[in-house]
Amino acid sequence: MRFHSPQKLKTIADLIGSEFVGPEDFEVLGTNEIHMVKQGEIVFVNHPKYYDKALHSDATIILIDKKVDCPEGKALLVSDDPFRDFNKINTHFTRIYNFTEELHDAEIGEGSRIHRTAVIGNNVKIGKNCLIFPNVVIGDRTVIGDHVIIQSGTVLGGDAFYYRKLNGNFDRLISVGNVVIENNVEIGNNCTIDRGVTDSTIIGEGSVLDNQIQIGHDTIIGKKCLIASQVGIAGCCVIGDEVTLWGQVGIASGNKIEGGSVLLGKTGVNRDLKKGTYIGMFAEDFKGYLKKEVKLRNLK
């Protein structure tokens, strides 16, 4: 999430009541989570296991629960609860409506047709010649390109599934990102595409999604991908261009699939994949799988 205008380190520290390490006028441009963070942005870390990853990420400001040596050219915000204060920063700079208020500020392009039962949030942009079916829900800040089809029951921009366990309960990391649907995308019935925690969940130009597909926060789907029914993609994944995912494929968070790959039905992904065709619970190379099956069948 980028702030509307650059902020100063001391301003952010005063907002959350934290100590800081670095010049008080150190420039802060926004926030982001570790998978997506860019220079000038804040990332949070609240466990020693991930200190090095956060401190040496592209983040320029690290919101951390312990004062440590600060890398050159960076700054620290030292908080007793970085998770809580990350939420506080994000919700200070991004208003969360959750359909409790209607600003009626949607921008809708020429030729687009939206069924009267569709629900559209605030600050939504819909391009030209789109077709939005009954009972579609489009959350705040969603951006939809031209010539997009969204079929019935689909939800764009729901909350990210991102929690910590605190005092025996689950505490949500509040989602202030959005969903971006590029031109010429078709989305089937009853799909759910979560908005980014602090960035965008993106469906690339020309991609086609079947029914009942779940796409997690901050995931990027490339151009001209084909995704069949009941696929589940966790958060922060990157799917290359022209990837085909057949029914009930499951992809764990933070994984990358190279463009041109084909994942056959019920394939499970728990690591990055180079271009190829895969099958099975642990995404085996398809040709290797067939050879193994032949050998097993020929055992006496």
d(CA 126, CA 61): 34
d(CA 206, CA 224): 5
Specify the pairing of strand 284-285 against strand 277-279: antiparallel
Q: What is the DSSP letter of 287?
A: H
Spatial contact of 204 and 182, defined as CB atoms under 8 Å apart: yes
Provide the phi-psi class of 256: left if phi over 0, else alpha when psi is between -120 and 50, else beta. Answer: beta
Tokens of 221: 């789907």
Residue 269's DSSP bridge partners are: 251
Tokens of 142: 């969603």
Give the H or E element holding residue 292: helix 286-297
Answer yes or no: 217 catalytic. Answer: yes
From the candidates 4, 47, 104, 217, which is the catalytic residue?
217
Scanning the structure block, which residue is given the tokens 């390490």?
21
Spatial contact of 207 and 189, defined as CB atoms under 8 Å apart: no
d(CA 138, CA 180): 11
d(CA 203, CA 177): 14
Smallest CA-to-CA distance from 2 within 29, 34, 40 is with 29
Active site amino acids: 217
